[in-house]
Amino acid sequence: MAKEFNVPPVIFPSGANPSGPTYQRRLPTAPFQPPRSSNPNIPFLSFDVTSAAASTSFATSVPINAAGFDDEPPLLEELGINTKQIYQKTLSILNPFRINHHLHEDGDLSGPFLFLMAFGLFQLLAGKLHFGILLGWVTMASMFLYVVFNMLAGKNGNLDMFTCFSLIGYCMLPIVMLSAVSLFLPQGGVVIMVATGMLVIWSTRVCARLVVELANCGDEHRGLIMYACFLIYMLFSLLVIF
């Protein structure tokens, strides 16, 4: 005798058996994900993209620089190198009869350093390595001019060391020109001696006039200041001649 089994009817979710009860499949939720209705005011816990984008409380806390690097100053300006000022001061040195001392009221070291490097480069082309000598001599010459002027002016002297270094460095331009010209002239000749005398007088006149115009009590000691400047630039010209 065959045994009968009670088999429940098969329910198809596509609607093949519309008369029977229907079952809906429950969608799985992400792990560690609370229900959406439990935290309706916290959009970033429900991973709801639309609600999180609509909330501006987090987005507005991070400032955004829309200008970028447009408002940034140039690199040379950040380093303290004013190319326009160096150009104007160089032009004022090239005319020894019309010197604008107002341009040299604010001293700088970028222009003198540029002239010293050019001087050392021309000396290197002549077979002479004088970079260290030039830096050392300019420092000693600035100290010499500073001490001499302040001893002459006494308590009224207002010439500082920084201004001395700036003036001596900028007035070195004729000596730099001498080092460039000496590459094409025979050493020990009459031409280079005459050129050396003219350019040393040029540098002496410009430097002495700037010191007199920028410092107090300079008119009273113009001759002594000019003599000190002549000794300084004559010393540098000896590096070119010999």
pLDDT in tens, 112-122: 999 999 999 99
CA angle 196, 199, 205 (to 5 degrees): 135
Cα(62)–Cα(64) distance, rounded to whole angstroms?
A: 6
* pLDDT in 10s for each residue of the chain, 242 residues: 566 666 666 665 555 455 555 555 565 555 555 555 555 555 444 445 454 444 444 444 545 554 556 667 777 767 778 889 999 999 999 988 888 888 898 888 999 999 999 999 999 999 999 999 999 999 999 999 999 998 888 777 788 999 999 999 999 999 999 999 999 998 888 999 999 999 999 999 999 999 999 887 778 889 999 999 999 999 999 999 98
Measure the CA dihedral 229/233/234/238, to 10°: 160
Cα(211)–Cα(164) distance, rounded to whole angstroms?
A: 8
User: What's the pLDDT tens digit per position in 103-157?
Assistant: 898 888 999 999 999 999 999 999 999 999 999 999 999 999 999 998 888 777 7
pTM, to two decimals: 0.69
**Residues 240 and 184: beta-carbon distance below 8 Å:** no
